[in-house]
Each structure stands twice: as structure tokens, then as C-alpha cells.
């Protein structure tokens, strides 16, 4: 009831479609960036295959899931058949190879949670992280990309939400706020539960794609070309959806009891997942289930302090969408 009365006031919401779409368009990477990424991948493949002929390279993250804005870093995963390959050893050797080929800012971070080598390619200006055997990330990248093909409003919403999160400083996992990956899952969940739904639940449908990674079965309907009209019964505009997204996280989500789950296409209870109390460093103050690694809560980085920051930011954004004469500027003001 409260929510309804709040949303009833603004009757000029569709006036905001054009400026939101303009922001979305301005964030789309130009076609030439794809070419540069390919050029870098070719170089990396050449260098890697000399030392490890059996290794494969895959793009993952925002450069491959279609949610990357212009000038994003490129995430690369190097895979070996051997699941027990010595990652620090490979990464140190790889760093050596990259340095001697004149790649810049080469750094092996062998003790990070996800060990990587960082580099910058002077020929393309692209920065890149390379990790090893992170196949689940390659698979969840495909899932996200497939969702994006179903309805363009997902990509529009994600670009605007990521732009907002970066502007407001709430896209910093090391400070207890959420990863870009978490925000994409929040957007997919949100569009799945709209009435009528804008996105289906691909993991609840016939399995046309299935792989097993680290003992986890990853399966879903990936023939998304067949779903291109799925959301058309819902005519909500991007401005309405941005507003409703922030209102959902500001006023409607039950932070005490609920877990959002794109795997099931619905809300599940914290109790059912045993996410009701802090275990180690996982506090479960905002719960976002990973679609494949279902024991993984993307909200686990959030702590007592940062949950307050996040919720205040959701409320600020909802308030701006409700009342501000110029939300397309105010929403993204640096914090």
C-alpha cells in the first residue's frame, strides 16, 4: 500500500525514457573495442600455446556477457585438463612470458582469493586479468549473455544500475558493497518477477545445454532465439523499470527472510538455505544466490556497516526517481 501511494505521484515518468536511453547508448562500447579484444586474445593465445599447448583461453565477465561498458577491463580464463594444476607456478611463469613480450604492468597476484596475472597491452591500451581453471565463471558468463538476448530492457537496466553503482561507490567488494556480477543477478531476478514477467527462468526449462563443472551440474534452456518475444506482454518502459528496481530494493525486499534466486525464478527463504546466521565471514545481510554454485551468496561480502550504506543508496535512488525534477543527473552524482 505504502509502495503504491509513493509511485502514484509521478505521472511524467515516461518523460525520462529518452534521457535514460541516451545514457545507455553512451555507455555501449564502440565496435572497434571488440576488434582490439580479439587482437589481444590472439596475442595471448600465441604466447600461451608455446609454453602450454594443451591450455585454452576463454573470455568471461563483462567483455563476454554483454554487460560491459566502454573501456572495461578484459577478464580471461586459462583452462587446463588437470584440475590440480599448480596455479601459482603457472601464473608466475605466465607473468615472466608476458613481461618478456613487452606487455606492461605485469603482476602475478598468486595469493588472491582468485589468483590472477594482471597486464596492460600497450598496442590496444586494454587492461586484462588472467585466471586459471575458473570454468564456472565462463559458464555463468554464457548464462548472463543468453538472458541479455531475450529482452533488451535487461541490458538497458544493467547498464544504468552499474553506472549508478560505480558513481555512488557501491560497486566495491573490498569495501563490503556488491560486485557487478551481483547487480546483474539482481536485475535478472527483478525482471523475472515483474507481472507479466519480462524474463523467463532458463534453469527451470528444458535443458538444451548442460555441462558439469567441479561436480556442479550446470544446465538450462539456451535456445534463447526462440524466446525473443517473451517479455512483450509487459510494456513497461526503461524509466518505469529503473524506478521500480530501486523501489524494490528500497522498500519491498524482505532483507530478514528472503534470498533472491534466478535459478528458481523466485524468492527462497534464508531458512531453507540455512543462511540465517553468520558463519565465518558470511553474514547473509542481503542474499543473492549464485545460479550454479548455490551455496554461494553473492551478498556475503556485505557487512553490518555496508548494508546500511547500500540500503541508504537504494532509498536515495528511489526517492530521486520519485521526486527529483532531473533524476538522470542527480541519480549519478558522485558521492
Residues near ligand CTP, by CB under 6 A: 60-62, 65, 67-68, 72-73, 75, 136-137, 140-141, 179-181, 298
When the beta carbons of 29 and 97 are compared against ligand CTP, the nearer one is: 29
Question: Please, are residues 298 and 179 in contact by the beta-carbon 8 Å criterion?
Answer: yes
Q: How far is the CB of 301 from ligand CTP (least distance, A)?
A: 8
When the beta carbons of 136 and 250 are compared against ligand CTP, the nearer one is: 136
Cell for 160?
544504468
Helices within 29-174 (DSSP H only): 31-51, 87-100, 135-150, 152-167
Q: How far is the CB of 11 from Mg ion (least distance, A)?
A: 39
Residue 246 to residue 165: CA distance in whole angstroms: 12
When the beta carbons of 120 and 307 are compared against Mg ion, the nearer one is: 120
Q: How far is the CB of 162 from ligand CTP (least distance, A)?
A: 6
Q: Which does 67 bind (CB under 5 to 8 A by kind): Mg ion, ligand CTP, none?
A: ligand CTP
Question: Please, are residues 216 and 292 in contact by the beta-carbon 8 Å criterion?
Answer: yes
When the beta carbons of 172 and 324 are compared against ligand CTP, the nearer one is: 172
Q: Which does 141 bind (CB under 5 to 8 A by kind): ligand CTP, Mg ion, none?
A: ligand CTP
Kind of pairing between the strands at 126-132 and 74-79: parallel
Residue where the block lists cell 526503461: 238
Q: Beta-strand (E) ranges in 162-303?
A: 209-213, 216-220, 258-261, 266-269, 287-288
When the beta carbons of 158 and 239 are compared against ligand CTP, the nearer one is: 158
Q: Which stretch binds Mg ion (CB under 5 A): 73-81, 85-93, 108-116, 286-294?
A: 73-81
- Should residue 116 be labelled a site residue for Mg ion when binding is judged by CB under 5 A? no
When the beta carbons of 10 and 168 are compared against ligand CTP, the nearer one is: 168
Q: Which does 74 bind (CB under 5 to 8 A by kind): Mg ion, ligand CTP, none?
A: none
Return the H-helix or E-strand segment holding 318: helix 304-323
Q: In the complex, which residue's CB is closest to Mg ion?
A: 61
Residue 168 to residue 166: CA distance in whole angstroms: 5
Long-range CB pairs of 7-14 (<8 Å, 24+ gap) are 7/243, 7/244, 7/247, 7/322, 9/322, 9/323, 10/243, 10/321, 10/322, 10/323, 13/237, 13/239, 13/240, 13/243, 14/237, 14/239, 14/240
Pick from 134, 120, 39: which is nearest to 78 by CA? 134
Q: Which does 179 bind (CB under 5 to 8 A by kind): Mg ion, ligand CTP, none?
A: ligand CTP
Q: How far is the CB of 172 from ligand CTP (least distance, A)?
A: 10
- Should residue 62 be labelled a site residue for Mg ion when binding is judged by CB under 5 A? yes
When the beta carbons of 61 and 291 are compared against Mg ion, the nearer one is: 61
Q: Which stretch binds Mg ion (CB under 5 A): 9-17, 70-78, 248-256, 322-330?
A: 70-78
Residue where the block lists cell 522498500: 251
Q: DSSP letter at 49?
A: H
Q: How far is the CB of 77 from ligand CTP (least distance, A)?
A: 9
When the beta carbons of 136 and 239 are compared against ligand CTP, the nearer one is: 136
Q: Which stretch binds Mg ion (CB under 5 A): 69-77, 84-92, 156-164, 254-262?
A: 69-77
Q: How far is the CB of 323 from ligand CTP (least distance, A)?
A: 29
- Should residue 61 be labelled a site residue for Mg ion when binding is judged by CB under 5 A? yes
Question: Please, are residues 76 and 45 in contact by the beta-carbon 8 Å criterion?
Answer: no
Applying CB under 5 A, the residues found at the interface with Mg ion are: 61-62, 75
Amino acid at each position: 500500500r505504502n509502495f503504491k501511494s509513493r509511485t502514484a505521484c509521478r505521472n511524467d515518468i515516461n518523460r525520462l525514457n529518452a534521457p535514460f536511453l541516451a545514457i545507455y547508448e553512451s555507455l555501449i562500447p564502440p565496435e572497434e573495442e571488440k576488434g582490439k579484444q580479439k587482437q589481444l586474445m590472439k596475442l595471448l593465445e600465441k604466447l600461451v600455446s608455446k609454453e602450454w599447448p594443451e591450455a585454452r583461453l576463454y573470455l568471461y565477465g563483462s567483455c563476454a556477457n554483454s554487460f560491459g561498458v566502454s573501456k572495461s577491463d578484459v577478464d580471461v580464463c586459462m583452462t587446463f585438463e588437470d584440475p590440480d594444476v599448480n596455479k601459482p607456478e603457472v601464473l608466475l611463469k605466465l607473468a615472466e612470458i608476458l613481461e618478456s613480450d613487452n606487455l606492461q604492468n605485469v603482476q602475478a597476484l598468486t595469493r588472491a582469493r582468485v589468483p590472477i596475472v594482471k597486464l596492460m597491452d600497450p598496442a590496444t591500451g586494454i587492461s586484462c586479468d588472467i585466471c586459471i581453471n575458473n570454468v564456472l565463471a565462463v559458464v555463468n558468463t554464457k548464462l548472463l549473455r543468453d538472458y541479455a538476448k531475450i529482452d533488451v530492457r535487461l541490458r538497458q537496466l544493467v547498464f544504468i544500475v552499474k553506472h549508478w553503482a560505480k558513481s555512488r561507490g557501491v560497486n566495491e567488494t573490498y569495501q563490503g558493497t556488491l560486485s557487478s556480477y551481483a547487480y546483474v543477478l539482481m536485475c535478472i531476478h527483478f525482471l523475472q518477477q515483474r507481472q507479466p514477467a519480462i524474463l523467463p527462468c532458463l534453469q527451470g526449462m528444458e535443458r538444451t545445454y548442460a555441462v558439469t563443472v567441479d561436480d556442479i551440474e550446470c544446465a538450462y534452456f539456451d535456445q534463447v532465439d526462440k524466446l525473443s518475444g517473451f517479455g512483450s506482454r509487459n510494456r513497461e518502459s526503461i524509466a518505469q523499470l529503473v524506478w521500480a528496481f530501486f523501489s524494490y530494493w528500497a522498500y519491498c525486499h524482505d532483507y530478514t527472510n528472503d534470498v533472491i534466486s534466478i535459478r528458481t525464478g523466485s524468492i527462497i527463504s534464508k531458512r531453507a538455505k540455512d543462511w540465517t546466521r553468520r558463519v565465518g565471514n558470511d553474514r547473509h545481510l542481503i542474499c543473492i544466490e549464485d545460479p550454479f554454485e548455490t551455496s554461494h551468496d553473492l551478498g556475503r561480502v556485505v557487512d553490518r556497516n555496508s548494508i546500511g550504506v547500500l540500503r541508504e543508496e537504494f532509498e536515495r535512488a528511489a526517492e530521486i526517481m520519485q521526486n527529483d525534477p532531473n533524476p538522470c543527473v542527480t541519480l549519478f552524482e558522485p558521492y
